[in-house]
Structure 1
Amino acid sequence: MLLMHRFTILSSLCLVLAACPSNGSTTTDGASTGPASTTDGPATDSTPGTTDDSTTSAAPTTSSTGEPTTTTESSTDATTDATTGAVECEPVTAQIGPDGGELSLCGATLRVPAGAVATDVEFGIAVVEPPAEPPFEQAFASPVFEFTAGADAFTQPIELILPHEPTEGRLALSQYDALSNQFWIIEACAVTDTTISQSVFQLGVFAALRGTYDYPDSTNGLGGGSIELELLGMPASFSLDEPGNFGIFSDAEDGSRGLTLKAIREIDGGLESLRIDFGVDASGETATLTAVEWLSTVTSEGYTYIADLIGSDGVITLDLVDGDHYVGELSAVTFGGNPQHDEILHATFDVTVEKFAFPPELGCFGGE
């Protein structure tokens, strides 16, 4: 898959994770169901991978209606399937109405804000067998949860909060797509040491993920080389060796790569930036131009090519591929300017790239 600043990079792989820590609970304005299961094993607290001697705890919380409530959770460390935690996590359901409420199971919480539904709706959470493997270079960091509702639409997004195992690796949230039979990485609204969350308008099957590749923390200092650009009848040289510029790639499961070259240069009166995104097949011989973007702070203009979306005739050829060293040229009919019009862009490049993937963006409906 191609690495682009406008899109999230996806991929697949497998994993083993810690057993599910706690049973279901509800905080709602209606009736709830979901018996707590028990075992003969010692109890654990509600944080994955930790244990203590308590068997049941009750802590005051505040519901989405603002009324103080009490949420009760019980837990056990009985050995179960690593991704389902089936013994501890019997499915739970609850009727939640216009005043909003919460439903919890095994560390996961479904939070319905006030006004999201017009009448009482039955919501449910269940731990299920993974319907597919996690994306490439990802592993499950939580059980796989199925969130359901007896309604097709909500006037406000429903917040989903999933637990995750302790990890120093990069975390992500994923949703299962039945049509493609794959888990796709989606944006995470907030990540803490124990949870990851997002607000959604459609429920379904979700899981927390952890990355299995130790990516650099940023693009600083990654890659090198130069790009020679011809645009608007003027040549321009961009160096990836300058601070803040970079050349990176991301692998896909089939052996193909997505590459991004990004450079900024100082000119009289301001700055120019250039970004090139392209893919290379598993053989390393055939390249496909994905996007090109040139911007200038001097003229406040920009020209863009995005395959099958903006501009046309994008072509890229590789003259040399030696490991992470790429030499080639590209051309495209870009669109932009003021007034807007087509403009031919041509560039040659001699660059090295290093492996990197941008983390999922932190975004949330009405977020902070």
Structure 2
Amino acid sequence: MGSRGWAAFRHTDFRLFCAARFAMALAIQVQTVAVAWLVYDFSGSALNLGLVGLASFLPTMTLVLVTGLVADRYSRRWILLLVFSAMTLTSLGLLAQVHAGAPSLWPIYGLLVAFGAARAFGNPAAQAIVPALVPTGDLANAIAWNSSVMQVATVSGPAVGGILYAVHPTAPFLGSAVCFGLAALLIVALRLRPAEVKREPVTWSRLVAGLVFLRAKPLLLGAISLDLFAVLLGGATALMPIFARDVFHVGPWGLGLLRSMPAVGAVTMAIVLAHSSLLSRRSGLRMLQAVGVFGLATIGFGLSTSFGLTLVLLAILGAADMVSVVVRQTLVQAETPDELRGRVAAVNTVFIGASNELGEFESGTLAWLVGAPAAVVIGGIGTFTLAVLWRSWFPDLARRDQLVRSEVSGSGQPQKA
């Protein structure tokens, strides 16, 4: 990337897309913090916190074959417009539940399932649309900046959500609905370069084409699966309401700060990656090293009894995770042909959802059994172990040098992969 740190932002469509993603990510973070505090304050149960993640993940897992094919067969712009509109409606539904006093958690879980279904269709389309917004040479830069924009929203979103919830429990859900509506309007303004959309008959082989492609690519399978299991084991996001209320006694504002710190580290690292050559060489090894650091920081978080130290450890954790995200996303986009990007992105979304939402369920269940600090430490140890194992199990990933390889075309001219 180096001196071309702002290359992707030369393109108007990419700027509009980033603005829409920012509004969407901000709304998700505000809503996520509010739901987590609402559920834990209402029930006092770590298991119920875990069920929040499970409700969000189940649609992603069950719809994976359909969502990827939809992203490859239909306009990704229209898919995102419908998705953001559906997200607006689910936020309004949560607002109505909170306004009514939330007498039961089951309607909230039901709305989270509906919200998860919308995200299941939105994520593959959003991932697959990026290569249509910028030239191939700017792809890695675009992904780094797209991740950076998302992380900026992730920094501010939890803090905003915590403050709004402290003002009034309905405020974060109203704010989320407004942001989702804004994202939909920005997508309306988006203009993509015309692309050929293939409408072959739907067959089983086309439904599973993304899975088959990844199975034949050990490099991609290693990168995606490493991220899956690392965050599945090491992600302690679901437990932060417990740390905020019962360990550090800092209330909703403290929960927002805890949720923001990984994104502070991630934004810092994304800016470094966009303006440096850190990943220009030995990118696969850098990913493995980052996951190891992620595991160590997670262990420290679980053992820490200092709120200030915990914030620093969470920032380190987020910075390490950003390295993994940029490497994984760039490899997936660069190595996948356009006609398969939606289906491969759908599989990638399942892996991400499994690592995040299903990881929340795993963390909540384990914390219910052994306590929150012990659950975090156990997960961190597991993540560090994975980084060591993946280096020998996926040698193609460990040996990967450049993120986007230069290949020689038939005419003898170098061309980007």
1 or 2, which has the higher helix percentage? 2
- Which of the pair is proportionally richer in strand? 1
| TM-score relative to the length of structure 2 | 0.20
TM-score (norm 1): 0.22
- Structure showing greater relative contact order (alpha-carbon pairs closer than 8 Å, 6 or more residues apart): 2
Specify the structure having the higher radius of gyration (Cα): 1
